[in-house]
Chain A
Amino acid sequence: MLAITGLTHTYTGGHTALDGLDLTVPDGQLLSIVGPSGCGKSTLLRCIAGLIRPTGGTLEMDGAPVDGVPDDLAVVFQDYSRSLFPWLTVRDNVAMPLRRRGGSRAERRAAADEALESVGLHDAARKYPWQLSGGMQQRVSIARALAYRPSLMLMDEPFGSVDAQTREDLEDLVLGVHRTGKMTILLVTHDIDESVYVGDRVVVLNRSPARVHADIPVGLPASRDQIETRGLPEFVRLRAEVGRLVRGGARVPGAAPADGLPADRGPDADGQAETGAG
C-alpha cells in the first residue's frame, strides 16, 4: 500500500505545486490521476519516484517511510524518445534496469526478451529504438518497466505523444499488464476518457497547488473494451462527472470546487494560486 500524507512541494522559485496532498493507494490498484494541465500531476509523480525531494509531507510504502527512490518502482515517461537510450538496442534498453537486480547477462537478456514478447515486440529486440514507430517505442518503455517486475509502476502521461489508434492499443496493453502483473499502477493523464477507461479509481486534482479534489471509484466491469465500455451508461456518467470536476464546476456532494473559492485553499496558498487559476 502506498500512503501519501500532507505532501507539499514548493520549487526554489517559490511556485507551490503540491499543497498538503493526501492519497492512499491499496496494492494492485490502477489509479488514474487527472487534473487540469499544469496542476502539479507530474510533480506528484516525481515526488513518489524520488526524483524530487518534497518540501513537506511523508510517503510510505507498505508502512515503511520512503526516502529517495523506492525499491521495485518503475516509471514510464511520456517522452519515450528521450527516455529510451538511442545507443542501445531495444533488448539492451529493456535489460538495462535489470543490472540493479544482479544476475548474469544471459538472464537479463532472457528477461528482456520475455518482457518484449509480452508487449508484442519480440521481433524488434535487435533493432534500435529510433528505428521504431512512436507507439512501438512506448511499448519498449513499458516492456522495460515490466522486465524490472516493479510492485509500483508510475506512468506520466504515457500516451500523450502517440496517435489515437495507438493510444487505444496502449491503454488496452496497460489494462492487460495490470490484470496479469498484479502491480499497483499510478497513471497520470489529462485525458478524461482515458482516466475512466483504464482506472479502477480516478483521483481529480485541484488546479495548482494540487490537492485531491475528488476521489471517484470506477464501477465498470474489470474486463474493458474500447467500443463497448465507452458506450456503457456508467462510463458516460463517470466521464461527465470527471469532466465537470476537472473543469472546476463541481456538482458532486462533498467535493470542493477547484476554481479558487477561498474555502478550497490553505491559509498559506494565497498569491500562489493565481498562476494556475487563469
Chain B
Amino acid sequence: MTARRILLGAAGAVVVVGALEAVSRAGLVDETSLPPASTVLKEAGKLAMDREFLVDVGATVREWLLGLLLAVLAAVPLGVLLGSVPLLGTASRALVELCRPVPSVALIPLATLLFSSPAQTNMSLIFYACLWPILVNTLYALRDVDPVAKDTLRAFGFSAPAVLWRVSLPSAAPFIATGVRIAASVALVVLISTELLVGGDNGIGIYLTETQQGGGRTDLMLAGACWAGVLGLLANTALTALERVAFRWHAARVEGIA
C-alpha cells in the first residue's frame, strides 16, 4: 500500500515536471521567465552542494523549529486550560476566533518594531501563525473527550486532575499532534514570506531575494523554491509517520480495524 502510494506520488510529480518542461521547450513561454524543469532541477541539484545555500537552509530550519517549539510550549498548555475549564473556554472563544484569521504577514510591521534582529522577528511571526492551529486543535480535542471515558475514572474515585492526566490528555493527543503538523506547514510558508519581506542575513527567503538581484535568475529562484517544498514535504512525512507510530490505537480506531 505504501509502496503503491509512493509510486503514484512520484508518477504525479514526473507528469507535472514533464509538462512544465514541454511548455518551456515548445516556446509557449519565454525561457528566461519560466526555465525548463530540467534546468531548474539541475540547479537544485547543484544547490545541494552549495555551502552558502546550505547555510541559508540551516538558518531557516533553525528558526522554523524554534518558532514551532515555542508555539507548542505555549499553545498546548493554554489549549488544555481553555478546553478543560468551560468558563475560560467560553470567555476566550470570541477572542480566539478574532485573532486566528489575522495573517502573520500583516503583523510584520509590528514585529519589526518589537524585535531588533530579523531572526527574532521571524520566530515571533511563526509563533503567532502556529499558535492558532495548535491551540484550536488542543482546545476542541479536550472539549470532545468522551464523557463515558472520563466518567469511568471518576466513578473509580479519581480526582479531576487525575482524569485530565490519565484520560483527557491521552485521548486528545492525536488531535494535538495533527495541530502541530498543520502548524509546521503553515510555519514554513510564513517564515519564507517574512524572510522575503523583512530580509536578514541567512535564510531560504533571503536566497530567493538574492537570485532576483542584478538581472535575475529565475532558474535559481525556482531551484531554491524546490528545496523549500522538499523541506515541507519532509516535515509532513516525518510528522505523519510519527503520529502513526505513537497513536496506532487512534489510526486503528478511525480506520475501523477493530
Contacts and interface: CB of A to CB of B under 8 A. Distances in A.
Given A82-B149, A130-B257, A131-B258, A87 B155 contact: no
Interface string A44-86: 0010011100000000000000000101011101010111011
Given A96-B166, A128-B249, A75 B258 contact: no
A75 B252 contact: no
Nearest to A82: B148
A86 B157 CA distance: 20
A128 B253 CA distance: 11
Nearest to B155: A75
A154 B152 CA distance: 11
B249 A87 contact: yes
A85 B249 CA distance: 10
Given A87-B249, A130-B249, A131-B258, A100 B148 contact: no
A82 B257 CA distance: 16
A83 B148 contact: yes
A128 B252 contact: yes
B152 A77 contact: yes
A51 B154 contact: yes
Contact of A87 (B152, B156, B171): B171
Interface residues of B, number: 23
Interface in B127-181: 146, 148-149, 151-158, 166-167, 170-171, 173
Interface in A141-173: 148, 154
B157 A75 contact: no
Interface in B109-141: none
B155 A69 contact: yes
B250 interface: yes
A97 interface: yes
A39 to B, nearest CB: 20
B155 A50 contact: yes
Contacts, number: 70
Nearest to A129: B258
A81 B252 CA distance: 13
A100 B158 contact: yes
Interface string B64-76: 0000000000000
Interface residues of A, number: 26
Nearest to A81: B258
A77 B156 contact: no
A86 B250 CA distance: 8
B156 A97 contact: yes
B149 A69 contact: no
Contacts of B151: 46, 49, 51, 75, 77, 83
Contact of A96 (B146, B153, B154, B257): B153
A55 B238 CA distance: 52
Contacts of A74: 155-156
Contact of B154 (A69, A79, A131, A132): A69
Nearest to A52: B151
B155 A148 contact: no
B249 A97 contact: no
Nearest to A73: B155
A235 to B, nearest CB: 32
Nearest to B247: A87
A192 B171 CA distance: 36
A83 B152 contact: yes
A91 to B, nearest CB: 15
B252 A77 contact: no
A85 B167 contact: yes
Interface string A113-130: 000000000000000101
Contacts of B158: 97, 100
Given A79-B148, A128-B252, A51 B167 contact: no
Given A75-B155, A85-B170, A130 B253 contact: yes
Contacts of B156: 69, 73-75, 96-97, 100, 148
A50 to B, nearest CB: 7
Contacts of A154: 155
Contacts of B167: 85
A37 B99 CA distance: 46
Contact of A85 (B149, B157, B258): B149
Nearest to B173: A87
B166 to A, nearest CB: 7
A130 B167 CA distance: 17
Given A46-B151, A85-B167, A86-B249, 7 more contacts: A49-B155, A69-B154, A69-B155, A82-B146, A85-B171, A100-B157, A130-B249
16 contacts: A49-B151, A50-B155, A69-B155, A74-B156, A83-B149, A85-B171, A86-B250, A87-B170, A87-B247, A96-B153, A97-B153, A100-B157, A130-B258, A131-B257, A131-B258, A132-B258
